[in-house]
Amino acid sequence: MEDNKTVNRPTAVKLLGIIFDYLTKIASERSVDKILRLIADFGRDVVSADRCTVWLLDEKKDILWTRVAHGVDRIEISRNNGIAGEVATTGEPLIINDPYSDPRFDKEVDKKTGYTTYGIIALPIRDSDGNMIGVVQVLNSLTPLKKFTKKDQQHLMLAASYAGNQLEAVMLQEEMENTQREIIFTLAETGEMRSKETGNHVKRVAEYSRILAELYGLSETEALLLKTASPLHDIGKIAIPDSILLKNGPLNDEERKIMMGHTTLGYEMLKHSDRKTLKAAAAIALHHHEKWDGSGYPNGLKGDEINLYGRITAIGDVFDALACPRVYKPAWEKKRVIETFRKDSGTHFDPVLTKLFLDNFEQFWKVHNTLSDNR
């Protein structure tokens, strides 16, 4: 519904403060979602509006969609619809202070959200080459006049032009990171398929690792790094001979020794990279079979000598092995899995991480069910 509150337009000094504050925040942000939220806040505050919506253009689908909008969840519209669609098509800014009398205004969005729009400024967001990448749209001036002006448009244009350059750079970086993740998952899944592991094993372990990392207090960025790196924990198995890797029945001592070598083989494959993700993956590959009491392999490390990422991934890897069926055993029931982790806390597993895992067990069980190979 329309908000009756009113505010004065910011003074020149206050406006300058708003601009510098947001420019600093946007320049230091590396997340597309967070940058879009900052752009929305920036647009709203710089013109004293009630709401701001940031639409991104999907050229392939010929739609505009919001990943961030004040007061609404994700919405998709045709590029040919509404005020945002008009701006995306023509590339020209618009000020409309009586949208319900304008045939270009799409009333359906208001119907869906229960909101009443009485004023709009919509401007294109362009990349450094001048290509359209989206539209920023502010709604409902909160000034006593309750109308947007040309000066508001100029102020919003400043926000849109700067935001477009920053958004382009961060979206490119995100695309590169997403491509890297896809390559890592594909490589990891190829290795798992060779050893006849279940298809979603690496995806589940990755998600378990992310959740446990966040519960432990690692930042969102570090937890995502661990999620991306953990699928390569068993990559060294691609160098294990089929006669051992695929053997039906127990391994003899010599075969077991060769199999255990997958940890150092994975480490040797990955250790030469300077990329954060592959450096983390190298540590995980080497350490995920170490045990808290020093009885693990390959180096018999104890306690905090074991890399944190390796300790986290170890819990996810073992949990998945127990909770899912394997060629050599059926899936274990939830109660039996919990009892095993309680018993092995402080011997096999880091006791602090194990407690976090058990205290939040239903989160992990939900992932286990959601990414089940039977779905």
Q: Residues 201-224: pLDDT tens digits?
A: 889 999 999 999 999 999 988 999
**Cα–Cα distance measured from residue 298 to residue 287, given in angstroms and rounded to the nearest whole number:** 8
**Close Cβ partners of 18 (under 8 Å, ≥ 6 residues apart):** 10, 42, 45, 46
- Whether 237 is a known active-site residue: answer yes
Boundaries of CATH 1.10.3210.10 in the chain? Answer: 195-370
Range in 77-81, 302-306, 321-325 with the lowest mean pLDDT: 77-81
**Cα–Cα distance measured from residue 210 to residue 312, given in angstroms and rounded to the nearest whole number:** 9
Name the residue with higher pLDDT: 157 or 319. Answer: 319
Boundaries of CATH 3.30.450.40 in the chain? Answer: 12-171
- For the chain, give the percent of residues with pLDDT over 90: 51
**Among 90, 101, 168, 105, residue whose Cα is nearest residue 139:** 105
- Specify burial of residue 176 (Cβ count, 10 A radius: 0-12, 13-18, 19+): exposed
**Among 77, 71, 63, residue whose Cα is nearest residue 140:** 71
Residue 133 in contact with residue 167, Cβ under 8 Å? yes
What per-residue confidence (pLDDT) applies to 193? 63
- Specify burial of residue 11 (Cβ count, 10 A radius: 0-12, 13-18, 19+): exposed
Count of positions (residues) in the chain:
375
Is the predicted pLDDT of residue 298 greater than 70, yes or no? yes
The string over 115-129, giving b where at least 16 C-beta atoms fall within 10 Å of a residue's C-beta and e elsewhere, is bebbbbbbbbbbbee
Outline where DSSP puts E strands in the chain: 49-58, 63-69, 76-78, 94-96, 120-126, 132-141
Catalytic residue among 5, 237, 276, 334: 237
Is the predicted pLDDT of residue 351 greater than 90, yes or no? yes
Is the predicted pLDDT of residue 2 greater than 50, yes or no? no
Tell me the average pLDDT across 76-97. Answer: 91
CA distances from 42 to 26, 36, 137 (A): 10, 10, 11
Give the angle 252-256-259 at the CA atoms, nearest 5°: 140
Longest dimension (CA), the chain: 84
- pTM passes above 0.85: no
CATH architecture for segment(s) 12-171: 2-Layer Sandwich (3.30)
Tell me the average pLDDT across 286-300. Answer: 97
Name the residue with higher pLDDT: 182 or 135. Answer: 135
Structure-token pair, residue 311: 């300790």
Q: What is the residue-averaged pLDDT of the chain?
A: 87
**Cα–Cα distance measured from residue 142 to residue 130, given in angstroms and rounded to the nearest whole number:** 31
When pLDDT is cut at 50, 70 and 90, the band that residue 350 belongs to is very high
Structure-token pair, residue 332: 């274990």
Helices (H) and strands (E) in the chain, counts: 15, 6
Residue 235 in contact with residue 266, Cβ under 8 Å? yes
Domain 195-370 falls under CATH 1.20.1250.20: no
Give the number of other Cβ atoms within 10 Å of residue 2's Cβ: 10
Amino acid identity of residue 210, one-letter, is R
Provide the pairing of β-strand 63-69 with 76-78: antiparallel
CA distances from 186 to 52, 192, 232, 258 (A): 39, 10, 10, 25
**Cα–Cα distance measured from residue 293 to residue 170, given in angstroms and rounded to the nearest whole number:** 43
